[in-house]
Amino acid sequence: MKIPANFAFSQNNLQDFADCPRRFELRYLQKLAWPAVRSEPYVEAERHMLLGERFHRMVEQHQSGLSVEQIEALANEPELIEWWQAYQNQFPDNLPPQRYVEQTLAAPFGGYRIVAKYDLIAIQPGERAVIVDWKTNIRKPHRTSLRNRLQTRLYPFLLVEAGHTLNGRIPFLPEQIEMVYWFTADPGNPEIFPYSAQQYDLDRSFLQGMIAEIEAASQSRFALTTDQRMCRFCNYRSLCDRGEQAASMEEDLEQDDNEAQSGFDLDFDQITEIAY
Ligand code: SF4
């Protein structure tokens, strides 16, 4: 199935392709809704996800300047109160002063567009930029697994490509950028990934190669993953005849808590094009 010329590659759809090419096709090209329980017990998993979304909004509001008192008045569930206290006491406090919350950036790349929505970009204009992503997984993932996530490759790369819009029209150098993952499950130990020119070159080749691979698949076929563990978290299990048993909530919530977990991606129609 052909990739539309205006297609935008995001961490979610690239990660889906890396996990299973067929899932990428079903979800982003065919846009096939296929309701299925992703993990059990469903109600508890759903509740954790909704609490995670509310926590995201609380931090977003605080980073945007709303007072602590106004925000914490909205938190009455024990998990939210605990996460909020962890945020108050252990969120990185050495961030640059200029804050861009829920910032979307996009840039032309590989004949298409790449796009990302950042929880926070903290900038010292002309000097440094820190990408911060806060996560509510029940356990902090291993550093190697984070290193290999598409998000860790795409976000700093795109900030080099499109960050001039936030930096007086001067592009950031890779060495001026770092990416920080902060976890409610281990708030005192954020994972920090400094960026570099070498990593930027590697990421450029990697992303170009991946988009070429997706184009090639679109002209032949999108294969089903051979790693059937991926199917346990996938709503297309019954369609692909890959079993009916959903993953356990614990397994699921160890995964990334980005929008892909609920099957959503960015609304590409809402992305403001930036001037190049
Ligand atoms: S069920 Fe498995 S093979 Fe089918 S789309 Fe999902 S991950 Fe891919």
Cβ-contact 228, 242 below 8 angstroms:
yes
Is 276 among the domain residues? no
- Number of structural domains (the chain) is 1
The residue range of the domain holding 137 is 8-221+236-257
In a domain, 272, yes or no: no
Evaluate whether residue 231 is within a structural domain: no
**Residue-by-residue pLDDT tens, the chain, 276 positions:** 889 999 999 999 999 999 999 999 999 999 998 876 666 666 777 888 899 999 999 999 999 999 999 998 888 899 999 999 999 999 998 999 999 999 999 999 999 999 999 999 999 999 999 999 999 988 899 999 999 999 999 999 999 999 999 999 999 999 999 999 999 999 999 999 999 999 999 999 999 999 999 999 999 999 999 999 899 889 899 899 998 766 666 665 556 544 434 333 444 434 433 333
Is residue 246 domain-resident? yes
What pTM was computed for the model? 0.89
- Give the number of the atom of ligand 1 that is nearest the alpha carbon of residue 26: 5
In a domain, 230, yes or no: no
- Packing angle, helices 150-162 and 197-219, rounded to 10: 110
Q: Is the CB of 240 under 6 A from ligand 1?
A: yes
In a domain, 65, yes or no: yes
Q: Tokens representing 77?
A: 């569930």
DSSP state of 91: S
Q: Which residues make beta-bridge pairs with 117?
A: 104
Q: Which ligand 1 atom is the nearest neighbour of the CA of 231?
A: 2
CB of 28 closer than 6 angstroms to any ligand 1 atom: no
Give the contacts of 19 (CB within 8 A, at least 6 positions apart): 225, 227, 230
Q: Domain holding 216: CATH number?
A: 3.90.320
Give exposure, 43-81, as e/b (b: 16+ Cβ within 10 Å).
eebeebbebbebbbebbbbbbeeeeeeebbeebeeebbe
For the chain, report the end-to-end CA distance as a whole number of angstroms.
30
User: Does 234 sit in the ligand 1 pocket, CB within 6 Å?
Assistant: yes
* Cβ contact 118:103 at 8 Å: yes
Residue 267 belongs to a domain: no
Q: Which tokens in the block code for residue 54?
A: 């509310």
Is 33 domain-assigned? yes
Q: Containing H/E element for 250?
A: helix 249-253
